[in-house]
Amino acid sequence: MSLYTARGDSGMTDLSTGQRIAKNSWRVKAYGALDEFGSALGMARAFCENEKVKDLCLRLQKLNGLLMTDLASLNDYEPLITHDHVVYLEDMMDKMEEQMEPLHGFLIPGETKGGACLDLARTVARRAERVMWDLAKNEIVPDQDRILLNRISDFCFMLMRLEEDR
């Protein structure tokens, strides 16, 4: 099987549920922004030195794949992201926060390569969230998808703090 299919040469692409839509649609922009987030997170994982942070990055990459699948799906599709996914991230952030000193101001990222990459991933997640809200103006986006993406950027911030030990 060839890597290229030429099916996208006319500006259309396939969703995971079989529909064809324009490559410049808000839906494609939204899951494309999540794809960029996944790449930024992968770069962070490659540079992180804290093994727990690396493991949590990998888990978040897998969760991001579920979120991308939700956004690349239409009609009677049952979303993969659930309330339990949101609770998982919240619980993990609470546990991380218990281990850290309270913040007393803004952090400037870059103490470590991994921390800087995690901060980049956080900002890419924030942009993906803005794109998702643009999509939600005209199309259905499951509530849990929107909530999870809001938590993901906070999770990246906590991972950055844990990686940089601050």
- The reply to whether the predicted model has a pTM over 0.85 is yes
Phi, psi of 95 (to 5 degrees): -65, -40
Is the backbone of residue 105 left (phi > 0), alpha (psi -120 to 50) or beta? left
The rounded percent of the chain whose pLDDT value lies above 90 is: 76
- The pLDDT tens digits of the residues spanning 34-55 come to 999 999 999 999 999 999 999 9
- The pLDDT tens digits of the residues spanning 99-145 come to 998 888 888 888 999 999 999 999 999 999 999 999 999 999 999 99
Model confidence at 2, in pLDDT bands (50, 70, 90)?
Answer: confident
Cβ distance 21 to 12 under 8 Å? yes
The rounded distance, in Å, linking the Cα atoms of 44 and 119 is 9
Tokens of 46: 């490659």
pLDDT at 3: 75
Rg of the chain over Cα atoms, rounded to whole angstroms, equals: 17
**pLDDT value at 15 more than 90:** no
Q: Residue 7 burial by CB count (10 A; 0-12/13-18/19+): exposed, middle or buried?
A: exposed
pLDDT at 12: 82
Strand partners, 21: 13
What does the buried/exposed string (b/e) look like for 99-133 if buried means 16 or more CB atoms within 10 Å of the residue's CB? eeeeeeeeeebeebebbbbbbbbbebbbebbebbe
Average pLDDT, the chain: 93
State mean pLDDT over 9-29: 87
- The pLDDT tens digits of the residues spanning 57-76 come to 999 999 999 999 999 998 78
Cβ distance 131 to 29 under 8 Å? yes
DSSP labels for 40-57? HHHHHHHH---HHHHHHH
pLDDT at 87: 98
pLDDT at 117: 98
CATH assignment of 19-96+108-164?
A: 1.20.1200.10
